[in-house]
Amino acid sequence: MSISRRAVLAAAGLTGLSAGTALLSGCASSSTSVTGPSGTPASLEVFSWWTEGGEAAALASLVSEFHVHNPHIDFVNRAVAGGAGANAKAELARRLKAGNPPDTFQGQAGAMLDDYIDAGQLEDLGFLYRQQGWNRLLSPTLLQLTQRGGKQWSVPLDIHHINLIWANKRVCEHAGVPTAPASVADFVTALHKVAATGKNPLAISVTPNEIWQLKHLMECLLLAELGAAGWPSLWRRGGDWGSPQVTAALEALREILSLAVNPTAEVTWNQASAMVGNGTAAYQIMGDWTEATFTLAGLSPRRDYAWSTAPGTSEAFLFASDCFTLPKGAKDRDAAIAWLVECGSQAGQDSFTTVKGAIPPRAVIGSTERGLFDQYSNWSMVEWTTKQVVGSLTHGVVARAAWNNAIDAALNAFVTNRDPGRLQTALEAAAKQYAA
């Protein structure tokens, strides 16, 4: 690997939460060659939503590694801002429908790609899997998700941990609350105690653009109530969205949201993480891209922050996996294939995941490789192999776009009416309409 996590962070100067973006622009323009191996101009248009904090820095790290192997390919960054692809997913769907695909785009292993597969917009990557030996090298859990109908549709780049709580140590200590509340009830008690000290107990934003942050919280609460065995049944036809467990989770959602200070202000996930990092807020329930943001800000897990599985979900590893694809009609197909090879390689995955706060999607991670990763990622690697692995709603695994959009609409209404009963009815209706 040519660039380590430490090198990227040092290059970013640890100058704060937007350092990655500056570094990324530097990387994107640093490739000056305009000819590919065959003498023709080679440029690679990469579509993603990695523009914030640690996600932008991780993309920069991957691009640097890519340029080591492909110095003649210009990297054209087509990232569209908006956490969890809030804007990118709609923009991508428009581009694909209009027959104007990027050379490759960020997807998520699982149902997120179903619409594109059904519409015949992607190339089968079986040839690359065979050539690169990925069926042997990648995690079997992910291999199940990247294939459909005997074909391979994407190349996974990372594994993200979704059911996590992040806490500011000083704020928790001051309020006399645990950094890792064991149950949802303990969490609610802790939020009340923090509120009594005058601090914001929970960093979250629930504007229409950021409604995915509320969906992320909701899925952690549903997982806590239903358990790792019950959660997957919600995503099958006939799943019981009317159950008392779902009712309890949605009531907890109402109470927890009522304790957050000013959640209707527009705050990105990265800004919300910064609020926990700088002690403005006590907790955030968010995926492990938050860890990358803390690291970029120079925070230390021993001194400044703590993480744990989200309250009541310690038996589970709720996961998502970012992946890349080959759209039919990619203008520079060869360059896109070179990018996919990088994404599927150990060097490419390590260059990205060491910075992103994620873990590589490989079947085996050796002890030398583990040494490249920080304390958090090493913990996450152990969780991945010892917990019950279940797929995320918000981050693309279990439900396709239309179902996610219906859930977003139900949550947007809930932000206004704060009525868990109406939310449950809307979620039941969405499941009836969209469960396959």
How deeply is 324 buried, as exposed, middle or buried, from its count of CB atoms within 10 A (0-12, 13-18, 19+)? Answer: buried
Radius of gyration of the chain measured on its C-alpha atoms: 21
Per-residue HEC secondary structure of 318-344 comes to EEECEEECCECCCCCHHHHHHHHHHHH
**Amino acid letter at 135?**
N
Stretch that binds ligand GAL, among 78-86, 133-141, 296-304, 327-335 (CB under 6 A): 78-86
Q: What angle do CA 205, 270, 59 make, to 5 degrees?
A: 140
Stretch that binds ligand GAL, among 47-55, 59-67, 179-187, 202-210 (CB under 6 A): 47-55
For residue 274, what are its two tokens?
């910064």
Q: Which is nearer to ligand GAL, 31 or 351 (CB)?
A: 351
- Binding-site size, ligand GAL (CB under 6 A): 14
Residue 357: other Cβ atoms inside 10 A: 31
User: How many whole angstroms separate alpha carbon 68 and alpha carbon 63?
Assistant: 9
Nearest CA among 268, 274, 6 for reference residue 166: 274
Among 320, 336, 341, 430, binds ligand GAL (CB under 6 A): 320
Q: Which is nearer to ligand GAL, 108 or 313 (CB)?
A: 108
Among 84, 96, 297, 341, binds ligand GAL (CB under 6 A): 84
Among 20, 36, 53, 83, binds ligand GAL (CB under 6 A): 83
Among 1, 45, 47, 49, binds ligand GAL (CB under 6 A): 49
**Amino acid letter at 15?**
T
Within 269-308, which residues bind ligand GAL (CB under 6 A)?
Answer: 269, 287, 289
User: How many whole angstroms separate alpha carbon 206 and alpha carbon 411?
Assistant: 9
Cβ-contact 285, 220 below 8 angstroms? yes
CB of 50 to ligand GAL, least distance (A): 6
Q: Where are the alpha helices (DSSP H) in 133-243?
A: 134-137, 140-146, 169-175, 184-196, 211-230
Q: Which is nearer to ligand GAL, 85 or 101 (CB)?
A: 85
Q: CA of 47: how far to CAs of 3, 75, 285, 377, 404, in Å?
A: 22, 11, 27, 26, 21
User: How many whole angstroms separate alpha carbon 352 and alpha carbon 372?
Assistant: 11
Q: Which is nearer to ligand GAL, 222 or 358 (CB)?
A: 358
CB of 55 to ligand GAL, least distance (A): 4
CB of 105 to ligand GAL, least distance (A): 13
Residue whose entry in the numeric block shows the structure tokens 């955030």: 284
Residue 55, interface with ligand GAL (CB under 6 A)? yes
CB of 84 to ligand GAL, least distance (A): 4
> Contact letters (x/-) for ligand GAL, 90-119, by CB under 6 A?
------------------x-----------
> Contact letters (x/-) for ligand GAL, 355-384, by CB under 6 A?
------------------------------
Nearest CA among 332, 318, 201, 316 for reference residue 262: 201
Among 47, 50, 66, 75, binds ligand GAL (CB under 6 A): 50
Q: Which is nearer to ligand GAL, 64 or 108 (CB)?
A: 108
Among 319, 395, 401, 427, binds ligand GAL (CB under 6 A): 395
Among 160, 161, 199, 362, binds ligand GAL (CB under 6 A): 160
Q: Which residues are at the interface with ligand GAL (CB under 6 A)?
A: 49-50, 55, 83-85, 108, 160, 269, 287, 289, 320, 322, 395
